[in-house]
């Protein structure tokens, strides 16, 4: 593969997407511009490593019904369990009558941890790789503009050749009559075969 500027028209027209990307990257390197680097997944997902001091906490047992948890708690699980004896659940609604009703939800005791000492951690970090691609993007955009212009010119020549062939067919092979058709319908100069082949070949 060659840098984009070293490719001729024919080579540009048959580039695959990967080859176009490589040609643009090589063009950037040729101009002294660093292309963007894609880091491997393994490198991107480098593990966190460091020291972690565990937080200290005390256990508190609270009462919970469905998604709702009480703001009250017990330091003793037995006392929390005893509080469940005879407990029923009620639901308050502002949309229906009666506004307060009994539910079939079953209350339960859940444990929560209340922190009394904050944990701390110190990581062995590295600065994440980043790159300013401003200059590369300028090279990329220039190459893509040239690439687009070459392809558009080739496409336009192909269309004109097909139109020229159709007018000749309608004129029964008479080029002068075909030129007259072209002048009326296309309103541009009749393209010569040499001119079109220069672009297409």
List C-alpha distances in Å: 85 to 37, 60, 107, 108, 177: 65, 19, 10, 11, 105
Burial (CB count <10 Å: 0-12, 13-18, 19+), residue 176: exposed
Q: For the residues of 110-127, what is the DSSP string, one character each?
A: EEEEEEEE--EEEE---P
End-to-end Cα separation, the chain, in angstroms:
21
Identify the pLDDT of residue 141: 96
Q: Is 143 exposed, middle or buried, given 0-12, 13-18 or 19+ CB atoms closer than 10 A?
A: buried
How high is the pLDDT of residue 96? 64
Task: Evaluate if pTM is beyond 0.75.
Answer: no
Please enumerate in sequence order all residues whose Cβ is within 8 A of that of 187, keeping only pairs 6 or more positions apart, or say none: none
Per-residue pLDDT 10s for the chain (201 aa) are 899 999 999 999 999 999 999 999 999 999 999 998 888 888 877 777 888 877 888 889 999 888 788 888 899 999 988 888 888 888 777 776 667 878 778 888 999 888 877 888 888 877 778 889 999 999 999 999 999 999 999 999 889 888 999 999 999 999 999 999 999 998 888 988 888 878 876
Tokens of 131: 């790159």
CB 111 within 8 A of CB 61: yes
């Amino acid at each position: 593969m060659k840098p984009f500027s070293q490719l001729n028209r024919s080579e540009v027209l048959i580039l695959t997407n990967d080859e176009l990307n490589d040609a643009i990257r090589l063009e950037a390197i040729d101009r002294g511009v660093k292309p963007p680097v894609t880091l491997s997944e393994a490198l991107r997902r480098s593990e966190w490593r460091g020291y972690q001091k565990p937080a200290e906490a005390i256990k508190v047992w609270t009462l919970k019904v469905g998604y709702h948890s009480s703001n009250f708690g017990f330091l003793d699980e037995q006392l929390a369990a005893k509080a469940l004896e005879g407990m029923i659940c009620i639901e308050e609604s502002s949309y229906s009558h009666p506004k307060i009703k009994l539910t079939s939800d079953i209350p339960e005791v859940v444990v929560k941890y209340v922190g009394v000492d904050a944990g701390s951690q110190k990581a062995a970090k590295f600065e994440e790789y980043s790159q300013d691609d401003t200059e590369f993007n300028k090279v990329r955009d220039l190459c893509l503009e040239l690439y687009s212009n070459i392809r558009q010119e080739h496409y336009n020549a192909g269309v004109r050749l097909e139109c020229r062939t159709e007018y000749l067919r309608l004129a029964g092979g008479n080029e002068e009559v075909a030129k007259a058709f072209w002048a009326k319908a296309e309103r541009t100069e009749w393209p010569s075969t040499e001119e079109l082949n220069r672009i297409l070949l």
